[in-house]
């Protein structure tokens, strides 16, 4: 069940602000408020989905492809393609998910340790 009051829903509704990196009609990318690496950007689709599985089930191939194409585009925008990066999505209790709106963490700008996020 999607929580309409989660913090990313509030960012999408412009109820609270974010440090925007990229936005279009389908997606929003912004800097994490509590970065764990030099570059730590979060990417979210503008659909009400709790986690990765919910996103895949609720949308279609085109939306999933579009979202991950945008993730790749933002990685290029951040200039971290060459040196490398880590993308992560946490889901549920065991995955350590804090915010129940599907999001991808993009980590980079330095060597990322073995267990981060």
Interacting residue ranges for ligand AMP, rule: CB under 6 A? 7, 18, 30, 32-34, 42, 90, 96-99
Tell me whether residue 82 or residue 98 sits nearer to ligand AMP (CB atom).
98
Least CB distance to ligand AMP at residue 58 (A): 18
| Contacts by residues 107-113 (CB-CB < 8 Å, ≥ 24 positions apart) | 107/36, 107/37, 107/39, 107/40, 108/37, 108/38, 108/39, 108/75, 108/78, 108/80, 108/83, 108/84, 109/37, 109/38, 109/39, 109/78, 109/80, 110/37, 110/38, 112/37, 112/85, 112/86
The yes-or-no answer on residue 103 being catalytic is yes
Least CB distance to ligand AMP at residue 36 (A): 7
> Could you list the active site residues?
103
């Amino acid at each position: 069940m999607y929580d309409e009051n989660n913090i990313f829903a509030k960012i999408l509704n412009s109820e609270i602000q974010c440090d925007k990196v990229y936005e279009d009609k389908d997606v929003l990318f912004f800097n994490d408020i509590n970065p764990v690496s030099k570059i730590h950007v979060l990417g979210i689709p503008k659909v009400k989905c709790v986690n990765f599985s919910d996103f895949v089930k609720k949308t279609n191939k085109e939306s999933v492809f579009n979202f991950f194409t945008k993730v790749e585009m933002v990685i290029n925008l951040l200039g971290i393609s060459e040196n490398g990066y880590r993308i992560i999505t946490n889901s549920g209790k065991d995955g350590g998910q804090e915010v129940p709106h599907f999001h991808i963490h993009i980590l980079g700008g330095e060597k990322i340790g073995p267990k981060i996020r």
